[in-house]
Structure formats: C-alpha cells, structure tokens
Amino acid sequence: EAQVTQNPRYLITVTGKKLTVTCSQNMNHEYMSWYRQDPGLGLRQIYYSMNVEVTDKGDVPEGYKVSRKEKRNFPLILESPSPNQTSLYFCASSLGPRDYEQYFGPGTRLTVT
Amino acid sequence: QKEVEQDPGPLSVPEGAIVSLNCTYSNSAFQYFMWYRQYSRKGPELLMYTYSSGNKEDGRFTAQVDKSSKYISLFIRDSQPSDSATYLCAMTPIPTDSWGKLQFGAGTQVVVTP
C-alpha cells in the first residue's frame, strides 16, 4: 500500500530534550515536506526537500532541523524543544515538479511541557 | 496579514444541503488552486485542483476560481454525513523557485447532520 508513515504518533516530552520524528514514504517520491498545524493558523511549512541531500527552509523553520540522506526518509529533529513547538506535525511527499498532489502522513501530536 | 484567508467555521448543514466553502488570497502570482479534505485524526488528502480561472466538476464537488477577485470556492452538492471533515484550500504560483511550496488556508470545519 502506497503510504507515508510517521513515528511516533503521539509524544509528550519536556523542554530541552532532543527528539526526532521519523517520516518514511514508499512511493519513490522526490519531494518531501514537513508541516505543523495549529488552530486558526492552518498548515505551515517547516522544511522541504526536493531530493536526497537537497533541503530548504519553509515558512517556520526556527527550532527545527531536517536531513535527507535517503530518498524514502525525511526525519524532523527538534534539538531543544520548547512549549511553543507543541503542535500537530505532518510529513508529506509528492512525485516531483509540477505534481501538486501531496500525500500526507497520519500526523504526530507533540506536547512539550 | 495571511496570504490565504479561510473562515474556520464550523459550518453545520443538514444532510442533502449544498455546502459552500471559500477562500480569499492576496498573492496574484498564485496559479494552482487545490482543496484538501481532512478527517478527524487523519492527514489531509487532495480532493480537487484547478489551474488558473474557471470551474471544475467532479461528481458532487465543484471548484471555482475567480482570479480577478482573488477568490476560490468549493461546492458540495447533496451533502452526506460522510462529508463531515475540515476542508483546506491551498494554492501555489507557477513552479519556479517555489516548486512544491503550497500556502494553505486555516481550514473550514464542516458538519453534515443526518
């Protein structure tokens, strides 16, 4: 089954404790992206990657890191999480240029206390 | 000011009614317009997309784009309880440096009551 998977689905952590949210897709997509979704603000792009080793900042990159060492994986790293990073996070992928259908993962609900 | 504005709702309608959703935007460079549907506790999924101005119909769904007014709409005819979800509009310019970079609205929650 073609899908985007994220782990963990739910995470409660404390301020300053480094964490990684994994994202994997099995569709051989070039493009991958991370979003956060907050009430009233909708989906905002954090980082995106156009291919292996090619990443760029989205609209809200502060406090986040990403890497793309393999085509299928695109982990999101929070080096020192803060309470304002409490949010619902989505990973998405799409085939390539001019393909605007993004396939979203099921989401990771992160709470930072 | 956000580039894409969308009323968050909730919008409650009886089964069988027409659901009317809309978004306004400020960036005249937007050329591709999409509607995503998001069920509770799920990721968004693409419902429809249109390029530039005009209408597009797919079953019970109709998407309209009015670029002169910077206004897009989604209509759902004969609404069903299974249409209860959050609907997000999204848009992007013709791909150059902004390839794949979608701007989303905040989403409108729709509740269709039996």
CA distance A36 to A41: 9
**Which residues does chain A have within 8 Å of residue B35's beta carbon, measured at their own beta carbons?**
none
SS3 category, B21: strand
For B29-60, how does the pLDDT look when each residue is reduced to its tens digit (9 = 90+)?
898 899 999 999 999 999 998 888 889 999 99
Please list the residues that pair with A33 across neighbouring strands. Answer: A48, A92
Peptide bond into B81 cis (omega under 30): no
The answer to whether the Cβ–Cβ distance between B88 and A106 falls below 8 Å is no
Number of inter-chain CB pairs under 8 A, A vs B = 61
Q: Mutate one of A30, A33, A90, A100 to test the B interface: name it (highest B CB count within 10 A).
A: A100
Determine the residue type at A101: E
Each of the 113 residues of chain A gets a pLDDT tens digit; together they read: 889 999 999 999 999 999 999 999 999 999 999 999 998 888 999 999 988 999 999 999 999 999 999 999 999 999 999 999 999 999 999 887 666 788 999 999 999 99
Cβ atoms within 10 A of the Cβ of B40, count?
8
Q: What is the DSSP letter of A73?
A: B
Determine the residue type at A51: N
Rounded to 5°, the CA angle A43-A47-A52 comes to: 135
**Which residues does chain B have within 8 Å of residue A45's beta carbon, measured at their own beta carbons?**
101-102
Instruction: Give A3's contacts (C-beta < 8 A, 6+ positions apart).
Output: A25, A26, A27, A103, A105
For B73-93, how does the pLDDT look when each residue is reduced to its tens digit (9 = 90+)?
999 999 999 999 999 999 988
| A33/B contact by beta carbon, under 8 A | yes
Q: Mutate one of B6, B40, B46 to test the A interface: name it (highest A CB count within 10 A).
A: B46
The answer to whether the Cβ–Cβ distance between A90 and B43 falls below 8 Å is yes
